Amino acid sequence: MRGLPMGLSIRGLTRTFPGQGRAAPTLALQPTDLDVAPGEFVSILGPSGCGKSTLLRIVAGLDRPTGGHVTLNGRQVTRPGPDRGMVFQSYTLFPWLTVRQNIAFGLRERGLPEAQIRETTEKFIARTGLRGFEEHWPRQLSGGMQQRTALARALANDPEILLLDEPFGALDHQTRELMQELLLEVWGADTPETRKTVLFVTHDIDEAVFLANRVLVMSARPGRVKAEVPVPLPYPRDWTVKTTPDFAALKARLMAEIREEVRKAALA
Q: Please list, in sequence order, all residues whose beta carbon lies within 8 angstroms of the beta carbon of residue 268, skipping any fewer than 6 positions away.
A: 220, 221
Q: Which amino acid is at 136?
A: H
- 101 to each of 88, 115, 253, how far by Cα in Å? 19, 14, 44
* Predicted pLDDT of residue 3: 43
Q: Are strands 214-218 and 225-230 parallel, antiparallel or unpaired?
A: antiparallel
Report how far residue 145's alpha carbon sits from residue 216's, in angstroms, rounded to the nearest whole number. 29
Span 67-119, pLDDT tens digits: 999 999 999 999 999 999 999 988 789 999 999 999 999 999 999 999 999 99
Backbone angles phi, psi at 127, to 5 degrees: -70, -25
Report how far residue 186's alpha carbon sits from residue 202's, in angstroms, rounded to the nearest whole number. 19
Rounded mean pLDDT, 131-152:
95
Is residue 265's pLDDT more than 80?
no
DSSP secondary structure letter of residue 201: E
In 10 A of CB 98, how many CB atoms? 18
Q: How confident is the model at residue 191 (pLDDT cuts 50, 70, 90)?
A: confident
Report how far residue 155's alpha carbon sits from residue 129's, in angstroms, rounded to the nearest whole number. 14
Do residues 207 and 168 touch, judged by C-beta distance below 8 A?
yes
Do residues 98 and 145 touch, judged by C-beta distance below 8 A?
no
Q: Please list, in sequence order, all residues whose beta carbon lies within 8 angstroms of the beta carbon of residue 154, skipping any fewer than 6 positions away.
A: 85, 86, 87, 162
22 or 236, which is more confident?
A: 236
Q: How confident is the model at residue 268 (pLDDT cuts 50, 70, 90)?
A: low
* Predicted pLDDT of residue 259: 87
Do residues 8 and 39 touch, judged by C-beta distance below 8 A?
no
* Predicted pLDDT of residue 4: 46
Report how far residue 236's alpha carbon sits from residue 214's, in angstroms, rounded to the nearest whole number. 15
Is residue 2's pLDDT more than 60?
no
Is residue 128's pLDDT more than 50?
yes
Report how far residue 155's alpha carbon sits from residue 103's, in angstroms, rounded to the nearest whole number. 9
| Predicted TM-score of the model (pTM) | 0.91
Q: How confident is the model at residue 262 (pLDDT cuts 50, 70, 90)?
A: confident
* Predicted pLDDT of residue 243: 96
Q: In this prediction, what percent of the chain has a pLDDT beyond 90? A: 81
54 or 23, which is more confident?
A: 54
Q: What share of the chain is helix, strand, coil (3-state, %, to 5)?
A: 40, 20, 40
Report how far residue 129's alpha carbon sits from residue 50's, in angstroms, rounded to the nearest whole number. 34
Is residue 37's pLDDT more than 90?
yes
In 10 A of CB 134, how many CB atoms? 15
Domains observed in the chain:
8-83+159-267 (3.40.50.300)
* Predicted pLDDT of residue 263: 80
Long-range Cβ contact pairs of 72-79 (< 8 A, separation 24 or more): 72/7, 72/8, 72/9, 72/160, 72/161, 73/1, 73/4, 73/5, 73/6, 73/7, 73/38, 73/160, 74/1, 74/4, 74/5, 74/6
